[in-house]
Structure 1
Amino acid sequence: MKMMKQNVMIAGLALVLLSATACKDGNKNEPAAPMSNEMHQESMDDMMDDKPMNEVDEMAMNNGQDAKAEAILTDYFKLKDALVADDNAKAKELGASLATTLGKLDISEYTDTQQSDLKDIVEDAVEHAEHISESDIAHQREHFKVLSKDVTDMVAITGTENTLYQQFCPMYDGGSAWLSTSKDVKNPYYGSKMLTCGKVQKEIN
């Protein structure tokens, strides 16, 4: 009887050890539990504490500004494509759209210097976009040259989430630049007359 009790105890102990080992091994393959909101917030706070103040401000600013700056670029590229296609009516429509989108850029989150620069850039760009909305194609292209400089100056401050290419035509008006999302040159100043006249001047990241 005593022997039987010992055997039962040994068997029970072996079962407990086996279960514990199996549980330990099983946990190795289980995915890590997601961080709780509190832990995530603490980690974010720690990360922010480790960054210099200007980088933190820049991160916060970019999160709020990207969408509006990218909307301006989207309208600008549509306008550029209309000029490439020699489409005066479409360019008029897109000039009006771009003027509206430019007016929606919120500059309040930028530094005082950046706000001053962006205010001047946007005012000038709106003026040229409005002229494009009511001009013949020759005048649209004249205004697009200055508009392209304004948009390039804007991107230097706001940044962009996409890779852009600054392209340059040496023949139009003593040399004129524009922005594109593609390395392929399609000239908005000459359209079908000299579609591929120009080169990539620099890449903007």
Structure 2
Amino acid sequence: MTKTGLFSLALAFALISCSGSKTEESQDSSEMQETEVSQTTSVSNNSGTLGIIDAYLAVKDALVADNSSDAAEKSKALTEALNAYDIASSQGEDIEELERVQTEAAQFASNIASDDIAVQRESFQALSVLMKDFLKIAGADRTLYHQYCPMYKNNTGGMWLSASSDIKNPLFGSSMLNCGAVEDTLTVNL
């Protein structure tokens, strides 16, 4: 079998394993999660992002639990933390880009205050892309895992950050809780 054939077979298996079918057997064995990391990105050590990361992870956990009202409530603290971040104290090299990302991230965080969980999840996915960019410039206080689900948004895919390599998908919640893989690890330079 050619390398292309093997790749196609592996890709098909990954897509089938995230299909969301819910038989008792598939719930335990075929709803696979990949935790093998494909790359590692180093970020500077910055305890100033602690409140932002904590608030972001609280919103993620609410969406994992399919709790729209909790996600909306937690998004307020996230929006406040993003708006309060002192860019001038950042050790990042690209301050102008950091300011742009901060502004956009705060806007998406405020959109999560919606009472529609589909809107919340779409805003959260866009926020997650910005959060990764923000933390790559500003730094982080802990290791975070960039996780990716290929099934999100009609198979265009979506990502989020997690404090654990275990897959708990906030973009689908309980309907496809374990669909996804770790694509990158943001590690803190000590």
Query: Residues of 2 paired with 1:101 and 1:161: CA distance?
Result: 15
| Residue 196 (structure 1) aligned to one of 178, 181, 189 | 178
1:13-45 deviations in whole A, cap 9, x for unaligned?
xxxxxxxxxxxxxxxxxxxxxxxxxxxxxxxxx
Instruction: Give, in whole Å, the separation in 2 of the partners of 1:140 and 1:77.
Output: 14
The equivalent residue for 2:27 is: none
Q: How does 1:1-205 map to 2 (within 5 A)?
A: 66-110=46-90, 114-173=94-153, 174-205=156-187
Alpha carbons of structure 1 residues 135 and 114: separation in structure 2 relative to 1, 3 Å? farther
Query: 1:171 is matched by which residue type in structure 2?
Result: M
Question: What is the DSSP-based 3-state SS (H/G/I as helix, E as strand, rest coil) of the residue aligned with 1:75?
Answer: helix
> What's the Cα RMSD here?
1.7
User: How far has the Cα of 1:162 moved from its partner?
Assistant: 1.3
Equivalenced residues, count: 142
TM-score, normalization: structure 2?
0.71
**Residues 136/153 of structure 1: CA separation in 2 closer, same or farther (3 Å cut):** same
**Distance across 2 between alignment mates of 1:121 and 1:130:** 14
Q: CA deviation at 1:110?
A: 4.0
Cα separation, 2, equivalents of 1:69 and 1:78? 14
Relative contact order (C-alpha < 8 Å, sep 6+): which is higher?
A: 2
Identify the structure with the greater helix proportion. Answer: 1
TM-score, scaled to structure 1: 0.66
- Percent same amino acid among aligned pairs? 39
Deviation at residue 114 of structure 1 after TM alignment: 2.0
> Contact (CA 8 Å) 1:103, 1:122: kept in 2 or not?
yes
1:156 Cα deviation from its structure 2 partner: 0.3
> Alpha carbons of 1:97 and 1:111: their partners in 2 closer, same or farther (altered >3 Å)?
closer
Distance in 1 (alpha carbons) for counterparts of 2:92 and 2:66:
40
C-alpha distance in structure 1 between counterparts of 2:143 and 2:184, whole Å: 11
Question: What CA distance in whole angstroms lies between the structure 2 residues aligned with 1:204 and 1:172?
Answer: 22
- What do the CA deviations read for 1:91-131 (whole angstroms, capped 9, x no partner)? 00011110001011101134796221111111101111111
Structure 1 alignment gaps of length 5 or more: 1-61
Verify the 8 A CA contact 1:148 1:179 in the aligned structure 2. Answer: yes
